[in-house]
């Protein structure tokens, strides 16, 4: 077991500003060297409201340990203190293909043209 959050894995997170400090799955996207050394991590929250959008990436139940079908809301990338993450990941890391889809979603959210 790793002693720091792993890039590409989903964790339960209490996102600051969420009503009632709701816990939701979130994907860690910051690089592992940063995750090991910094006090915070970059995450993309997941939602079970499955609205299609150019910045949303669909993930099926079971993917990375997700309990329900979800979308990763790449436009909501945020930094959270590591103490707000669950101690362990929901499951294993997402596939490289899915992580590449997430990276494209983040670029779209920033207005970077995607070929």
In the chain, where the domains are located: 10-109
Q: Report which DSSP code applies to 53.
A: -
Model confidence pLDDT, tens digit, residues 10-59: 999 988 877 777 899 999 999 999 999 999 999 999 999 999 999 999 99
Cross-strand pairs, 26: 11, 45
**Average pLDDT estimate for 68-94:** 96
* The pLDDT value given to residue 1: 55
CATH of domain 10-109: 2.30.30.110
Query: What is the distance between the alpha carbons of residues 79 and 89, in angstroms, rounded to a whole number?
Result: 17
* The pLDDT value given to residue 11: 98
Confidence of residue 69 (pLDDT cuts 50, 70, 90): very high
Model confidence pLDDT, tens digit, residues 78-88: 999 999 999 99
Evaluate whether 114 touches 31 at the Cβ level (below 8 Å).
no
Closest by Cα among 20, 14, 90, 68 to 45: 14
* The pLDDT value given to residue 30: 98
Model confidence pLDDT, tens digit, residues 96-106: 999 999 999 99
* The pLDDT value given to residue 107: 96
């Amino acid at each position: 077991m790793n002693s720091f959050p792993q890039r590409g894995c989903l964790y339960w997170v209490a996102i600051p500003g969420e009503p009632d400090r709701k816990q939701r799955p979130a994907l860690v996207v910051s690089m592992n060297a940063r995750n090991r050394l910094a006090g915070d991590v970059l995450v993309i929250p997941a939602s079970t409201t499955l609205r299609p959008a150019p910045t949303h990436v669909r993930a099926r139940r079971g993917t990375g340990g997700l309990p329900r079908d979800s979308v990763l809301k790449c436009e909501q990338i945020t930094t959270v203190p590591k103490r707000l993450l669950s101690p362990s990941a929901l499951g294993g890391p997402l596939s490289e293909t899915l992580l590449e889809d997430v990276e494209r979603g983040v670029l779209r959210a920033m207005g970077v043209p995607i070929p």
